Amino acid sequence: MAKGKITIAGIGPGSKEDITPAVIEAVSKADVVVGYKYYFQFIEPYLKSGCQCIDTGMKRERERAEQAFAMAKEGKNVVVISSGDAGIYGMAPLIYEMSKKEQGARSKSDTVVPPDIEVLPGISAFQKAASLLGCPMGHDFCILSLSDLMTPWATIERRIRAAAIGDFVTAIYNPKSNGRYWQLHRLVEIFLQEGRSPETPVGYVRQAGRDDQEVKLTTLGQFDPEDVDMFTVVIIGNSQSYITSPPSGSPQEGRDLPPHPSASAQGERGVFITPRGYYRDKEQEAKCKGQEIMIQSFRTILSEMRHPEVPKWRLWPLLHAIHTTVDFSMERCLWMDERATEILYNKVKGGSLRHIVTDVTMAASGIRKGALERLGIEVHCYINDPRTKQMAEEKGITRSQACMRLAAEEYPEALYVVGNAPTALFEICDLVHKGQMHPAGIIAAPVGFVHVCESKHAVKTLKRIPKIIVEGRKGGSNLAATLCNAILTYDDAELLRPGRDL
């Protein structure tokens, strides 16, 4: 009897253009083809006359493998087909495992010669999806299957978290089925928890390479897991991935197109790119490294805090304060009104807070310029204004007091940030009581030994104004500025992702 052969062939994602010549040749010489019945439509034109087709339904992989071995034992040339690449969630591992088991079970008297086994690679679904989206797999990537039929969910979740922490571009197979509806939601939640930005590109392709192909591009924050099914491959970018403007020649060429879940026509979406990293802008690269360091620092601080279980509106400025001072006593020193950070940030987002006044230039320079530009906020400091010196001399007051009086005339509803002079805080209190100033909020962090504590006690009496105060003698312009930055970046608090505007 002739020696049989089993060829395990990946037939690609579904279009004839994506089947390799080697696979076509193998199929054309096959005596028997074994596979899931749906896939026979893609290789039928290449079958020789008299080729026997053994088709099975879904989840019948072991039965297919057993039939392949049975036919090969009869000396036949058998081709087992898998969609995509047969070695990626395909039939190849099962065939080899079964071959090993059969060889172990053979007796010395067995005259049947075991079949030769060959694997022919195919274009995987994630490769086809990636090509339709642009080049999302340009750097280190991993592939995850969300099917827990053969892998415990606890193991899958550990792998999801590892992919997110490792900043891998991630392709997702089996994202959803009728009985598996929540797992993709959980994956998105984990990626966001582990610091992947909501702006991270996400592309997903349904029925890649087939007649009913759908290609969509969005971001992690906008991605709706309900928009996919079991025939969809999802690709999530890494921290360097981005979306370009639409392709050349498209109706939208020349303008930036915001990603949108409904984008499907080529002219309506940009290109999903993950750079290799060799040609990154040095300034951007330094910014990314700086942010990564700050994120890791915040995580370290959180792990070492004595009382980390505090509300987000308190935790966010507290992390900033400890990061700036390397002083964990800030857990005791930092005082604030209920939801002060949140209230002040809502004023920023709502447009009622557009000006910040500081008592000294050092505090002003510490407020992130990127955040100010992004939010449309101006910072004012009057300490070097000629009017300040003149008023201080004429009135017999400190320059800090004169600063606050000038500010009250021009920006009475600003956010007041004090990091140096207790006299500035006393002046603010006096102006508020006189009705000459109505601050949107106050950050009180003067430092020193004389009247410092008393000035902070005075500010606490301003009940209707949201305040953040560094109690006691501690404080400083750098601390005042970082507390201001915490307010301006409060929308990053949920994901514990500081440093966006570094």
The domain spans of the chain are 5-123, 127-273, 283-492
Strands (E) across 75-115 are located at 77-82
Q: How many residues belong to the chain?
A: 502
Residue 495 pLDDT: 78
Reported as type and span, the H/E element at residue 436 is: none
CATH class of 127-273: alpha beta
Backbone region of residue 451 per phi and psi (left: phi > 0; alpha: psi in -120 to 50; beta: other values): left
In 3-state terms, what secondary structure has residue 333?
helix
- Give the catalytic positions in this structure: 323
Which secondary structure element, helix H or strand E, spans residue 252, and what is its range?
none
CA–CA separation, 84 and 23 (whole Å): 12
CB neighbours of residue 491 within 10 Å: 13
Tokens of 305: 């805090």
CB 229 within 8 A of CB 176: yes
Q: How far apart are the first and last CA of the chain?
A: 74
Q: Which fold has domain 5-123?
A: Cobalt-precorrin-4 Transmethylase; domain 1 (3.40.1010)
Q: What does the DSSP assignment read for 294-323?
A: HHHHHHHHHHH-S---S-HHHHHHHHHHHH
Q: Which of 77, 180, 175, 172 is nearest to 130 (CA)?
A: 172
Residues 6 or more apart whose CB falls under 8 angstroms from that of 401 comprise 392, 395, 423, 424, 426, 427
> Beta strands 355-358 and 378-381: pairing type?
parallel
pLDDT given for residue 399 in this prediction? 96
Q: Which pLDDT score, from 0 to 100, does residue 502 have?
A: 79
Task: Give the pairing type, strands 441-444 and 467-470.
Answer: parallel
Residue numbers of the chain with a pLDDT score lower than 50 = 247-267
Give dist(CA 382, CA 406) in Å, integer: 7
At the topology level, CATH places domain 283-492 in Rossmann fold (3.40.50)
For residue 101, the model assigns a pLDDT of 81
For 446-477, give the DSSP string.
--SSSSHHHHHHHHHT-TTS-EEEE-TT---H
Picking from 86, 35, 58, the residue whose alpha carbon sits closest to that of residue 147 is 58
User: Token pair for residue 18?
Assistant: 């994506």
Name the DSSP class of 37: G
